[in-house]
Structure 1
Amino acid sequence: MRPRDMGTLFDDAATAGARTVVRLDRPFDIAPHSGTRWTVPELAALVRATAARLADAGVRAGDRVAILKDNHWDCDLLACAAVRLGAVPAQLSARLDTAGLRTLLERLRPAALVTTSALLARCRDTVTGPLAPVCVTLDAAAPGAVHFAALDASRPRPPVRRHADEPLTVHHTSGTTGVPKLVVHSTRTLVHKLARFEAVRLPGIGIGPHDVLAHAGAYGHGRTLCWTAVVLSLAPAGIVILTGDDPDRADPLLRAHPPTVVEALPAAYVRLRPLTARLDNPFRHVRLYISTYDAVHPPTLRAYLAASRRPRPLWMQGWGQTETGPLTFRFHTRRSALAPDAETTTRRLGRPVPGRTRLRVVDPHTLRPVPRGRPGLLLVRTPALALGYLGEPARWDAQRAGDWWSTGDLGVHHRDGSVSLLDRAVDRLPGLSCLRTEDMLEQRLPQALECVVLGAPQGAPLPVVVTADGRLDPDAWKQAVQGLPPLRDPAVLTWDEVPRTGTGKVRRAVLAHRLTGAPATT
């Protein structure tokens, strides 16, 4: 089955005979009493019922519907239900900070807000004026809101079709350096150009009918809506949905249904890594790991590849953006992860997607092309480029260079066609690659869950080392920094002390301000 319409996606999969069984680590927030095991026909019925409830709340074709809730796959089911009515869903992370949430809601001006009672109270504390003409709470009744369970689900609405180039959905960027941008995608860009490309059973890496997929993602992010279209089309035997990254909570579900394919946020891979060292670990059958959003540091990659008992497991690393979808791919094996230059392998992003993506490197100031092998600003061309930024057309235009799109990343286009990532342009520091330094520190500090290098207002950069208990042996640090550029004494934090985006990325500017009193230098 080829994905064609997000509003009828689950119906189409059920009609095609998909036998996929979905298992959740907790019930859906839109169906809290319906258990954790779902078939595709049951999911299709749930999407239809959800669309009927949204219609009963007053949602109509052309409306924007803001979806702001705790992390779960039903973020995408709600989005599909809104699309079915001809509305445009805007999925917002519950981890947005107060200022970012207020700004995005003001830009969206949604006709309806679907949320929880706690998040609704938070929104009302931060947003001046009405949030939306209609507010729907999923968990409990709240003043001035309609309880989701009280809406009529008995009157199914026929799907509303839209042109392939009309707005389909809105997703926000990660927002590591400030207020996220609202990215508008169409059916053509998200479904036809992205999901259909992935929904192909390629030899060795394609998803087959006997696979069990485990997914630990940010379900309000554009990647997971595309992923939903792909997996419903490919119809694997099973899907395991993880809404959090607590290893003790994830372990029983993964052990009961061992995956053969895993896709997770880089932060989730880090948090779940202790499971790889357990006897009879739940990743023993995995043949393919998939990572997107951000690079995974080599020690983490190595631990997962070693945990598989398959003879030749693969790690597929994708690089892309909310605005563009995947731009490059590369594969890692046990052998490449153990190579002498392994600490730089994850920054080698592979080659542009053949026939879909073109890439060039230019001088950041003049935008003139630079020779192969020299660093510069990465520009790309892709038919999957989004329609624009909602409410910020000038900001969108500023990232265009003719037919090319500025990624904001600094890198090198090598003579063999591959691409290496050096840094985000906003994180660049004179004479030092933050990403490479972070890789090397993690390589040399086995106890580190994550390392971050921040620019400081004065003097050397400030390294931040994240450990399980917030402690770091001083002698281990002295050995780790040998041969590296000068760094300050590290700030040592626990995972929960680090401010993060909805996709688990470190909010560098916020962290820098917290630790140094000033934003990270750029």
Structure 2
Amino acid sequence: MRELARAGWPEPGDGVVPVVPGFVHSAFAPTVVAVAERCLRRRYGTSPVPAEVRTAIVLVSASGDRASAEHVRATVEAGGRVGPLFFYQSVPNSVAGHIAARWGLRGPVVCLSPTGDPHAEGTAEAALLHDDGDADEVLLILIEQTPDLSTEAVAVLLGGRSTTMRTPGLRGRLAADTELGAGNMLARVLAHGADPDGPALTFDTAVDGHPAQAPLTLGQLDERVAARAAWLHEQGVRRRDPVAVWATAAADMVLSFLALARLGAIPALMNGKLRPEIAAEYIRRLRGVGVLADDAHTALLAGHELGVPLLGTPAQAGTGDPAAAPPHYRHHPDDPIVITHTSGTTGVPKAVLHSHASLFAATRHLLSMPQAQGTTRILNALPAPHTATVLMVNQALGNRAEMFLLSEQGGERVLDAIQRWRPDGVFGFSVTWAELARFDLSGYDLDSVRLWFNTGDCSHEPHIRRLVAVGWHDTVTRDGVARVPGSLFIDGLGSSEMGHSMFHITHRADTDRYGRCIGRPYQFTKVAVLDADGEPVPVGEVGFLGIDSPSLFRGYWNDSATTYRFRQRGWYLTGDLVRADAEGRYYHLDRAVDSVDAGNGRRFFTALSEERVLAACPDVTDCTVVIVGAADGVVTDVLLELAAGADEAEDRTDRVRAALGADVGATLRRVVPVRSDDIPVTVTGKVRKVALRERYLTEAAS
């Protein structure tokens, strides 16, 4: 949307804000009125807004009316009577309604208390009202009162045509569509009138003769999916049929998922880095109807008993006739639509089942919220077979955003893609951010990036700080909306089972809330910190994370025993140890299996220890802490990955011991510089600490 007019309060020459009848004691409402009227006069003079123009009001404030709230608190505390006007002015809609009545504004009124960047959330809400056809113009008002009760505000009148490929009202219609879910987003987006010639997905490999890195339009994507659905149907694939998909290319994974979902079948997406013997056992346990594998993975399966036939390759599936595709299966909310798998830290990964409704619950919520900055041109650096990529593809389609999907997520590959494709948002796992920390980012053109979005394991402070130092984002200043240096980083905690990150916290270059803080829960989820019996623990105490969310997986495929082992008193137990503070923020300390009970009420945490070591050692790009409880006590090893040019011969033991703290530091056995290749990891890059503990026990025994 274009900026039609802008005003601030105060501006040079302003004195005391004019009084507004009906609003007392506080400068909050009078400032809103003053800045709004100044902005509207700069557009329309002293005349009312023309009757044919529907003007909405979006009032955004993180602080709210501090002065009124403090007055009410003090009056009640002193036993006094609160004046009746405070019951009126304490509702922000009242001052917005006052402005609407005086100026004849006929659009909706929305008041937001942002959890992230106020301008981003306000402009996103304005765009939503405009693009959904609810308003021709939007008066965006951003106001804050500081603790000393000084008040500043900015008003921006937005209007005109959007420069994005949006269909008016699309996001709102999708959010309200009861048939929409994770299995039919592509079909429903088109059914709701999205432009078939608008952008959809871009892949880093060729698709049926379509060049690599050339965008597929929405119509082309639908045609390529229909071709695969027709071919798979000819092979006998029907609804409810589990089909394993094992390939490397992101295009093979995403298009196979969309095609199988179109048939009502159940794609079982497998990470291409699985060892062949693990992959074969995983396929056997699925008890499906067949396997779709690319040439390289077909060769790896040779000689293994799978129990099901090889149907062909994803490339062969692309040769189907789109016109011969059967009608799109009509999903029920409980229908299974995809099986993904866990990292496999202890062997054969667990098969995670999601339904049409569960894997869409978070997306439906987000479609009803303002669209965040940094989500219109997305680089997807998440593993293609992971639940997170299925989620993000659906979100991109629903938002009518552009998305470029990478088949390989190494640091150098991601940096190259950012420079070539110039996304405004990059989505990935913490392992990718750790890899980027090994590079001198000043040597790369990352100016397009406004947002880094992390899911899976939460990220470490030094890795985040490197990223928020580059790029830019919009913010609100005294002089209005401004583009400022430094990007945003949204951190959290998620997993295949959770169906979406359950927490969120936004970091900027000027923020300082780290220490493994994962922020607050999303509105669609409930969380708890539990003891071993499933009972809530007091605020501040460490316990097991329990989740109750409509986005949760439906269970582990063909493994009811494991499914119910992770359920307790209505909660899904994630296996994480966390604590909450008095302000409702949560902190992730470790995976329970990686922590060690040190006796006397003490527990040692590997992930928290890694955070402390990285913060204390700037010449270390990543580290792994292994804590082992043995018969003769607890022993800790710290493995350091050093920055380029760092002195490998330097003894960092004292620095590391001090960072660990007195209790864990007393158990420190050795500090060892290592290469990244020395650390055993899973197919998604998670460190296999169980293997490192076994290595220690083997060394101790010998």
| Map of 2:291 onto structure 1 | 113
Query: 2: distance between equivalents of 1:207 and 1:13?
Result: 21
Gaps of 5+ in 2: 1-169, 474-483
| Map of 2:592 onto structure 1 | 425
- SS of 2:543's partner is strand
| Map of 1:446 onto structure 2 | 618
Which of the residues 364, 368, 383 maps onto 2:535? 368
Which of the residues 419, 424, 437 maps onto 2:609? 437
The amino acid across from 1:443 in the alignment is: A
TM-superposed CA distance for 1:302, in Å, is: 0.3
Q: Deviations over 1:146-204 (max 9, x none)?
A: x546666662222112321121111112223443211111111112x12212334526x
Would the aligned equivalents of 1:68 and 1:92 in 2 still touch at CA under 8 Å? yes
Would the aligned equivalents of 1:212 and 1:259 in 2 still touch at CA under 8 Å? yes
TM-superposed CA distance for 1:63, in Å, is: 0.9
- SS of 1:118's partner is helix
Query: 1: distance between equivalents of 2:497 and 2:547?
Result: 11
- SS of 2:669's partner is coil
TM-superposed CA distance for 1:98, in Å, is: 4.5
Query: 1: distance between equivalents of 2:553 and 2:184?
Result: 22
Query: 2: distance between equivalents of 1:445 and 1:508?
Result: 22
Query: 2: distance between equivalents of 1:247 and 1:165?
Result: 38
| Map of 1:335 onto structure 2 | 510
| Map of 1:321 onto structure 2 | 495
Query: 2: distance between equivalents of 1:291 and 1:518?
Result: 36
Q: Deviations over 1:432-491 (max 9, x none)?
A: 221111012122333433211113364512222234679834334543332521322234
Would the aligned equivalents of 2:503 and 2:519 in 1 still touch at CA under 8 Å? yes
**Paired residues for 1:126-137 under 5 Å:** 127=304, 129-137=305-313
Would the aligned equivalents of 2:374 and 2:450 in 1 still touch at CA under 8 Å? no
- SS of 1:294's partner is coil
TM-superposed CA distance for 1:514, in Å, is: 4.5
Would the aligned equivalents of 1:115 and 1:137 in 2 still touch at CA under 8 Å? yes
Task: Answer yes or no: is 1:303 the counterpart of 2:466.
Answer: yes
| Map of 1:463 onto structure 2 | 638
Query: 1: distance between equivalents of 2:509 and 2:194?
Result: 38
Would the aligned equivalents of 1:362 and 1:379 in 2 still touch at CA under 8 Å? yes
Query: 2: distance between equivalents of 1:372 and 1:274?
Result: 37
| Map of 1:381 onto structure 2 | 548
Distance change (3 Å), C-alpha of 1:8 and 1:295: closer
TM-score of the aligned structures, taking structure 1 as reference length: 0.86
- SS of 1:503's partner is coil
| Map of 1:517 onto structure 2 | 698
Distance change (3 Å), C-alpha of 1:510 and 1:73: farther
Distance change (3 Å), C-alpha of 1:97 and 1:198: farther
Query: 2: distance between equivalents of 1:434 and 1:198?
Result: 33
Task: Answer yes or no: is 1:36 the counterpart of 2:213.
Answer: yes
Query: 1: distance between equivalents of 2:322 and 2:558?
Result: 34
The amino acid across from 2:381 in the alignment is: A
| Map of 1:292 onto structure 2 | 455
- SS of 2:469's partner is helix
Task: Answer yes or no: is 1:196 the counterpart of 2:374.
Answer: no
TM-superposed CA distance for 1:56, in Å, is: 2.4
TM-superposed CA distance for 1:496, in Å, is: 3.0
| Map of 2:138 onto structure 1 | none
Q: Deviations over 1:226-285 (max 9, x none)?
A: 11110011012x323222234444444322332211111211122234566234x33223
Which of the residues 216, 231, 236 maps onto 2:396? 231
TM-superposed CA distance for 1:109, in Å, is: 1.6
TM-superposed CA distance for 1:294, in Å, is: 0.7
| Map of 1:218 onto structure 2 | 383
The amino acid across from 2:231 in the alignment is: R
The amino acid across from 1:321 in the alignment is: S
Distance change (3 Å), C-alpha of 1:471 and 1:84: farther
Task: Answer yes or no: is 1:358 the counterpart of 2:526.
Answer: yes
The amino acid across from 2:255 in the alignment is: L
Distance change (3 Å), C-alpha of 1:52 and 1:276: farther
Gaps of 5+ in 1: 140-146
Distance change (3 Å), C-alpha of 1:44 and 1:473: farther
Q: Which structure's relative contact order is higher, taking Cα pairs within 8 Å and 6+ residues apart?
A: 1
Would the aligned equivalents of 2:458 and 2:491 in 1 still touch at CA under 8 Å? yes
Would the aligned equivalents of 2:428 and 2:454 in 1 still touch at CA under 8 Å? yes
| Map of 1:393 onto structure 2 | 560
Greater CA deviation, 405-414 or 290-299? 405-414
Query: 2: distance between equivalents of 1:518 and 1:166?
Result: 49
The amino acid across from 1:219 in the alignment is: A
Would the aligned equivalents of 1:56 and 1:152 in 2 still touch at CA under 8 Å? no
Would the aligned equivalents of 2:462 and 2:614 in 1 still touch at CA under 8 Å? yes
Query: 1: distance between equivalents of 2:400 and 2:267?
Result: 25
Greater CA deviation, 476-485 or 293-302? 476-485
Query: 1: distance between equivalents of 2:629 and 2:589?
Result: 22
- SS of 1:66's partner is strand
**Paired residues for 1:5-84 under 5 Å:** 5-14=181-190, 15-17=193-195, 19-20=198-199, 22-24=201-203, 26-28=204-206, 31=208, 34-38=211-215, 39-84=217-262
- SS of 2:394's partner is helix
TM-score of the aligned structures, taking structure 2 as reference length: 0.65
TM-superposed CA distance for 1:372, in Å, is: 1.1
| Map of 2:36 onto structure 1 | none
Query: 2: distance between equivalents of 1:246 and 1:411?
Result: 29
Task: Answer yes or no: is 1:489 the counterpart of 2:670.
Answer: yes
- SS of 2:274's partner is coil
TM-superposed CA distance for 1:95, in Å, is: 1.8
Distance change (3 Å), C-alpha of 1:446 and 1:473: farther
The amino acid across from 1:34 in the alignment is: P
Which of the residues 666, 684, 695 maps onto 1:503? 684
| Map of 2:648 onto structure 1 | 472
| Map of 2:333 onto structure 1 | 164
Higher alpha-carbon Rg: 2
Distance change (3 Å), C-alpha of 1:468 and 1:276: closer
Query: 2: distance between equivalents of 1:278 and 1:483?
Result: 28
**Paired residues for 1:142-291 under 5 Å:** 147-148=316-317, 155-191=324-360, 193-202=361-370, 205=372, 211-236=376-401, 238-273=402-437, 277-279=441-443, 281-291=444-454
Q: Name the % identity.
A: 26
Would the aligned equivalents of 2:378 and 2:425 in 1 still touch at CA under 8 Å? yes
Distance change (3 Å), C-alpha of 1:241 and 1:518: farther
Query: 2: distance between equivalents of 1:228 and 1:464?
Result: 36
Would the aligned equivalents of 1:410 and 1:421 in 2 still touch at CA under 8 Å? yes
Greater CA deviation, 15-24 or 225-234? 15-24
Query: 2: distance between equivalents of 1:121 and 1:363?
Result: 48
Distance change (3 Å), C-alpha of 1:7 and 1:190: closer
Would the aligned equivalents of 1:275 and 1:282 in 2 still touch at CA under 8 Å? no
| Map of 1:405 onto structure 2 | 572
TM-superposed CA distance for 1:397, in Å, is: 1.0
The amino acid across from 1:379 in the alignment is: G
